[in-house]
Amino acid sequence: MLAFRVRAQQLDRTAGTPADTAVLDLGVQDTGADAGRWALAVRGVTEVRPDELVLVWTLRGAPHLYRRADLPGVAAATAPFSDADAAKRIFDGAKPLRAAGIPILTALDTVAAEMRRIVTGPTVKGEMSRQLTERMDPPYLRDCRPCNAVHVYEQSFRLAALRAGLELQPDTSPPVLQPVPGFAAADTVPDQLDVVRAYLGLHGPATPQQVAGYLDAPVKDVTAHWPADAVEVTVDGERRWLLAGDVDLATAGPAPTTRLLGPFDPYLQTRDRALLLPDEARAKDVWRTLGRPGGVLVDGEIAGTWRPRKAGRKLGVQVELWREVPSAALAEQAELLAAVRGTELSGLEVSGAEVSR
């Protein structure tokens, strides 16, 4: 299964383009410094044409990279399946809307319409939020203690942005939103971008519960959109499903690969984490809520963690290993990381298990 995912996510290749990069079908989460660029680089994509990719808030309200040409289909694919799904995705924002008798999908469209009126050019998130709050009725608003302010519920805000035809400017903090010229969501979802199919194709074999966990969607909605060509397989006595066209790839054998995966790399976004890393203590560190390290991927398994370290104007890489890892492969990955970040490598520090030569 892990070898299948390495191949499906193209972590075993050394060259590629956004057009032929499979993880962009489901989106590449861009959380952290150069996260999206690094996730592409470890899949062989080191050159991207200007304006070839677009950054938008989609699944789980997180910023994701997609091919710009796919954006209309992405908007259709990542929209909630139903009102119940929309309610689940916006968490506590659904309760006051339901109490006021406002359907959740209607509420998202209402927020999106106001956002579209406000953002006519590049607009900082805080300013857009301020203006939006002034325009929305009480059921849309929350008294936010961390911000010491009243504003629209965060997930409602984020999930409405693409409905409003808004993208995020890359590398901006705080985020800057801007209109997508001529944007209109597709009427139907292209098969390639269908989120259930894409999850099975990249993270399979999987269960409906795992797909639902990834999407923040109800299991009922996921099963209602289950692909007709998904075939049942058994994994350690558990029923799972895989796309019929992927069966040959799933039985292709080992996929020798060493990569430094970013904390939110698509490979680490799988919802069966125990398969990827059975050690509970180590898993707790890899998937911590704040300050996550990256994962050292060796032949499909997580063999350690890593963190970037600033060294003046240069970049250092600190690695903690749990098993033997080829030193040349680690050094090559560290050099590539420095290149992607536009700097030089100051050094590679390795602790834990011995590296092999």
Q: What are the pLDDT digits (tens) for 295-332?
A: 999 999 999 999 999 888 899 999 999 999 989 999 99
Mean local confidence (pLDDT), 231-249: 92
| This prediction's pTM | 0.95
Average pLDDT for residues 21-36, to the nearest whole number?
Answer: 96
pLDDT higher than 70, residue 355: no
Q: Per-residue pLDDT averaged across 218-243, rounded?
A: 95
From CA 56, how far away is CA 75, in angstroms rounded?
Answer: 10
Q: What is the CA radius of gyration of the chain?
A: 21
pLDDT score for 312 = 85
Q: What percent of the chain has pLDDT over 70?
A: 99
User: Which domains does the chain possess?
Assistant: 2-179 (no CATH), 191-250 (1.10.10), 258-356 (no CATH)
Rounded Cα distance, 12 and 191, in Å: 25
Q: Is 57 helix (H, G, I), strand (E, B) or coil?
A: strand
346 Cβ neighbours under 8 A, 6+ residues apart: 311, 312, 314, 315, 316
Query: What pLDDT digit, counting tens, does each position of 92-109 carry?
Result: 999 999 999 999 999 999
Q: What are phi and psi of 133, to 5 degrees?
A: -60, -40
Give the chain's largest Cα–Cα span.
65
Give residue 357's pLDDT: 54
Over residues 49-77, the pLDDT tens digits come to 999 999 999 999 999 999 999 999 999 99
As to burial, measured by CB atoms within 10 angstroms (0-12 exposed, 13-18 middle, 19+ buried), residue 275 is middle
Backbone angles phi, psi at 161, to 5 degrees: -60, -45
Kindly state the average pLDDT of the residues 100-128. Answer: 98
Mean pLDDT of the 284-293 span: 94
Mean pLDDT, residues 246-269: 91
Has residue 253 got a pLDDT over 90? no
Interatomic CA distance for residues 2 and 22, integer angstroms: 16
3-state secondary structure (DSSP) of residue 278 = coil
Residue 356 pLDDT class (50, 70, 90 cuts)? low
Could you give the residue ranges of the DSSP H alpha helices within the chain? 2-8, 23-26, 35-41, 71-78, 83-89, 94-99, 104-118, 125-135, 154-163, 195-203, 208-215, 219-224, 247-250, 273-276, 280-286, 327-340
- Position 254 scores a pLDDT of 82
Whole-number average pLDDT of the chain: 95
Task: Report which of 199, 118, 115 is spatially closest to residue 158, judged by C-alpha positions.
Answer: 115
So what's the pLDDT on residue 236? 85
**DSSP, res 206:** B
Give the pLDDT confidence score for residue 354 in this predicted structure. Answer: 62
Segment 139-185, tens digit of pLDDT: 999 988 777 788 999 999 999 999 999 999 999 999 999 999 999 99
Would you tell me how many other CB atoms lie within 10 Å of the CB of residue 342? 8
CB 162 within 8 A of CB 116: no
* Distances 35 to 79, 141, 193, 299, 337 between C-alpha atoms, Å: 24, 31, 21, 22, 11
Is residue 122 within 8 A of residue 176, CB to CB? The reply is: yes
